[in-house]
Amino acid sequence: MGAGILGLAVARRLAETRPDVTVTVLDKEDRVAAHQTGHNSGVAHAGLYYAPGSLKATLCRRGVRLLKEYCEDRNLPYEECGKVVVARDAAELAALDEIERRALANGVPGLRRLTGGELREIEPHAAGIAALHSPTTAIVDFPTVARAFARDVADGGGEVRLGFEVVRLGRAGDRVTVASPGAELVFDRLVVCAGLQSDRVARLAGDAREPAIVPFRGEYYRLARSRTDLVRGLIYPVPDPRYPFLGVHFTRRVDGGVDVGPNAVLALAREGYRWRDVRPADVWETVRWPGFRRLAREHWRTGARELYGSAVKRAFVAEARGFVPELTAADVVPAPAGVRAQAVDADGSLVDDFRLGRVGPVTTVRNAPSPAATSALAIAEHVVASL
């Protein structure tokens, strides 16, 4: 269930390794990659940030190798433009040291510590006193990859059934019934990769209440075409270890454009890509979740700062200018936003690692944020091996 890159990767893996089964992918939208897959930054992560030994670290490193091989085999865009993680001042050096330690433990290839001068040799317009350079961090077109996965599923005898909104799940022994308003299907196994709706579908299957999904919209600007020379590859900040968000950064895309962002503001709908996208039922569900209320009490100052950056362009640009001082408000134009399905436990903890569940014949992917797109083929191996 779910025709994003992860659901399609799982279906593809099943069709590839289990010729004895019939595979069906269900999605409520009229196209694949409609939500997180189609609204992300297009970065194939090398595995810098993740705790050594975690699912994120293990599956990202395997996943990026598989993704690169897949793109090369299918002649899909895959450009190793490289990334620098920049420390702006001495206060950020300890956190940069920790990222370097994790990256080395995770086996990130080609990693190099840079001085401020060496940073400017790679990114001439960037500012910082030190940086880490990951030359194998790449950019891809994930919607194109997802569409290729969908073709693989069909070529393997499976079906991608769009416009199928699941409203009810029923379990009887080792069988599971999946119902939409106009149809009812019965399967031996169900894998839920529902992204922004993953907690709701997991509960339909009888899984636990937590974690719950809290939607955070990531808003972007894009460099004007005349200013894309300000950035050669990817320029990232040293992330705040309290949050799974990476902060405002510069991301070159495979079409030659450069995105600036994202921030992280609470979305007023599960699929709310604009401020005017408001669903009161979604808002009510969010504020009722005890984990969200605890999160908001602890981090309201950060939330207020993100809201200010959302409302005031010059504040957003000022944050980005800390890394590229030449940037001005005239250099950027609005770009499409994305919504992150952030899982939050009842105690207010932001779930960082991938989290899977199992209820009888139903496997639930309860948390799969970045680098899930990078890791999709490896996550698919992991999930299918458990079925």
Please check the confidence at residue 97 and state whether its pLDDT lies above 70. Answer: yes
Mapped onto helix, strand or coil, the DSSP state of residue 237 is strand
Q: Name the packing angle between helices 372-386 and 5-17 (round to 10°).
A: 40
Q: Where are the domains of the chain?
A: 1-78+138-211+354-386
pLDDT at 91 over 90: yes
Is residue 241 pLDDT above 70, yes or no? no
pLDDT category at 45 given cuts 50, 70, 90 is very high
Q: How far apart are CA 164 and CA 183, in angstroms?
A: 8
- The pLDDT tens digits for 271-294 are 999 999 999 999 999 999 999 999
Contact by Cβ (8 Å): 273, 279:
no
Q: Terminal CA-to-CA distance of the chain, rounded, Å? A: 15
> CA 56, CA 68: separation in Å to the nearest integer?
17
d(CA 368, CA 355): 7
* Cα dihedral 283→288→292→293 (10° resolution): 120
Asked if pLDDT for residue 311 goes beyond 70, the answer is: yes
Nearest by Cα to 154 from 11, 328, 343: 11
Does residue 244 have a pLDDT over 60?
no
- The tokens for 160 are 């991608």
The yes-or-no verdict on residue 302 having pLDDT over 90 is no
**Per-residue pLDDT averaged across 71-76, rounded?**
98
3-state SS, residue 255: coil
What are 333-360's pLDDT values in tens digits? 999 999 999 999 999 999 989 999 999 9
117: left (phi over 0), alpha (psi -120 to 50) or beta: alpha
- Assess contact for 166 and 184: CB atoms under 8 A: no
User: Could you tell me which CATH number the domain at 1-78+138-211+354-386 has?
Assistant: 3.50.50.60
Integer Rg of the chain from CA:
21
Q: What is the mean pLDDT of the chain?
A: 95
* 142-155 vs 55-74: helix crossing angle, rounded to 10: 80
- Distant-in-sequence contacts of 66-70, Cβ < 8 A, 24+ apart: 66/377, 66/378, 67/140, 67/145, 67/374, 67/376, 67/377, 68/44, 68/138, 70/145, 70/148, 70/377
Angle made by CA atoms 223, 337, 378, in degrees to the nearest 5: 100
SS3 call for 232: coil
Contact 42, 148 (CB under 8 A): no
Of 162, 244, 165, which is closest to residue 200 (Cα–Cα)? 165
Task: With a cut of 80, say whether residue 332 has pLDDT above it.
Answer: yes
Q: pLDDT category, 242, cuts 50, 70, 90?
A: low
Tens-digit pLDDT profile for residues 126-143: 999 999 999 999 999 999
Interior angle at CA 83, CA 96 and CA 213, nearest 5: 75
User: pTM, whole model, 2 decimals?
Assistant: 0.95
As a whole number of angstroms, the distance between CA 233 and CA 251 comes to: 7
* 6/302: higher pLDDT: 6
Look at residue 212 and tell me whether its pLDDT is greater than 90.
yes
Write the single-letter amino acid at 363. Answer: T
Q: Can you say whether the dihedral through the CA atoms of 46, 36, 32, 10 is positive or negative?
A: positive
Nearest to 46 by CA among 76, 72, 85: 85
| pLDDT on residue 305 | 86
Question: CA 283, CA 99: separation in Å to the nearest integer?
Answer: 35
Read off the tokens for 156: 């393997």
The whole-number pLDDT of residue 299 equals 85
Report whether 204 contacts 168 (CB < 8 A). Answer: yes
pLDDT higher than 60, residue 385: yes
Q: What is the pLDDT of residue 28?
A: 97
- Helix ranges restricted to H, 75-160: 93-105, 116-122, 142-155
Kindly indicate the confidence band of residue 56, based on its pLDDT and cuts at 50, 70 and 90. very high
* Identity of the amino acid at 332: V
**Which letter, b or e, does each residue of 277-301 get, where b requires 16 or more Cβ atoms within 10 Å of its Cβ?**
beeeebbebbeebebbebbeeebee
Q: Please tell me the predicted confidence (pLDDT) of residue 359.
A: 93
Quote the tokens at residue 340. Answer: 């992150």
Backbone angles phi, psi at 114, to 5 degrees: -120, 145
Q: Say how far apart CA 184 and CA 122 lie, in whole Å.
A: 56
